[in-house]
Structure 1
Amino acid sequence: MRKCLAVLFLFVLSSCQLFMSREEKTDKMVHDKLQEIDWNEVDQYPLFDNCDEMAPKATQRECFRTEMTRLVSEALDSLQWEVKNDLNDTVLIDFKVDEDGFISIMEMEVSQSILAEIQDFNEQIRNQLKDLTVAPAVKRAKKVSMRFRLPIVLNTQP
């Protein structure tokens, strides 16, 4: 009798899942799967035409950074600024690549020394970089938006 009660007791303890409804089981499974996903990482980085979509993620990321830096550098090189004092500073630009691949400037951290020398610096940068597009980032087979920060070293001579 004691063995029978012990087995019955163990069965009751282990069978709580048997009494869960199908909806509760599904909710628990979805919750568990969502906890496994790293929402801060993408499966594929935004890609320019010359980046290989079959390359490893690290290579994709480096290709994206290299190409983005090149495009920003070309845009800045096309601007003509006259400054009175030497500038050697870093501008931090926060970009967003949306689900359609359009790149927009979200925020810029620009020192007061740059703004004092180049009055409409922010507007000029925004105008130069307004038409950039790329293949968007992908997470779990869905196109997603992504933010990133790019430091730009500004070095000028009067």
Structure 2
Amino acid sequence: MKKFTAILFLSLLFGACQNLKKPEISEEELLQQELKKINWTQVDEFPSVATCDSIKDDSVRKQCFFDFLTITIQQKLDLDTLSILYPQIDTIQVKVTVFPDSRLEFEPQFPSDSLAYDKIKIDSILHARLTDFPKINPALKRGIPVKTQFVLPVILNVE
């Protein structure tokens, strides 16, 4: 009787273990499931600079970064005659691209009624002045550096 009970117990245990096996999922299916879970329109960490890295609160650190970038751009543009050449312009919208390798790219955004010559001239002034930036740490998505873009309003010093 003990043998029969032991055999019955082992067969039930083996049968139960077989039922616990999960259907195998291929690596490709698993990858596709994970990719669907990721929100590709948001980053886990925004770009940052050394002066803002110690801030723990994400929204405060993000604002610190945007303030730092805006002030730095304003200071670099104050060195030029942009406000003298274009006194009618008090604010420039600048599209900033932070690449995964920490490179920066600046592109002025203009209203559709702007003259082509003005766009080219202002763009060349921006490219000449917006160099030698402090190191920017790129945004992170799941621990991987990613490209981000945003538009900053830069107020020109009109004195």
Q: Same fold (TM over 0.5)?
A: yes
How far is 1:43 from its partner?
Answer: 1.3
Correspondence for 2:5: none
Farther off after superposition, 148-157 or 39-48: 148-157
Deviations 1:47-66 (A, max 9, x none): 11100255222122111100
2:110 paired with 1:110: yes
User: When you count strand as a share of all residues, which structure comes out higher?
Assistant: 1
Deviations 1:15-43 (A, max 9, x none): 9x96x5542xx433322221111111111
Correspondence for 1:5: none
Is the 1:92–1:152 contact (alpha carbons within 8 Å) kept by the matching residues of 2? yes
Q: Percent identity?
A: 22
Deviations 1:101-147 (A, max 9, x none): 11112x3223527965x982221111111332311111111111111
TM-score (norm 2): 0.70
Pick the structure with greater CA Rg: 2
Amino acid at match of 2:71: R
Amino acid at match of 1:131: D
**SS of the residue 1:43 aligns to:** coil
d(CA) in 2 for partners of 1:151, 1:95: 11
2:79 paired with 1:69: no
**Residues 87/145 of structure 1: CA separation in 2 closer, same or farther (3 Å cut):** same
Is the 1:138–1:144 contact (alpha carbons within 8 Å) kept by the matching residues of 2? yes
**SS of the residue 1:41 aligns to:** coil
Amino acid at match of 1:110: F
Correspondence for 1:126: 127
d(CA) in 2 for partners of 1:65, 1:150: 8
Correspondence for 2:150: 148
**Residues 89/110 of structure 1: CA separation in 2 closer, same or farther (3 Å cut):** farther
Which structure has the higher relative contact order (CA within 8 Å, separation 6+)? 2
Q: Is there any run of 5+ residues in structure 2 with no aligned partner, and where?
A: 1-18
CA RMSD of aligned residues (A): 3.0
Is the 2:78–2:156 contact (alpha carbons within 8 Å) kept by the matching residues of 1? no
TM-score (norm 1): 0.70
Aligned residues: 137
2:140 paired with 1:138: yes
Structure 1 residues 45-64: aligned runs within 5 Å: 45-53=46-54, 55-64=56-65
d(CA) in 1 for partners of 2:48, 2:83: 35
Is the 2:83–2:89 contact (alpha carbons within 8 Å) kept by the matching residues of 1? no
Deviations 1:75-126 (A, max 9, x none): 1111124747741453221111111211112x3223527965x982221111
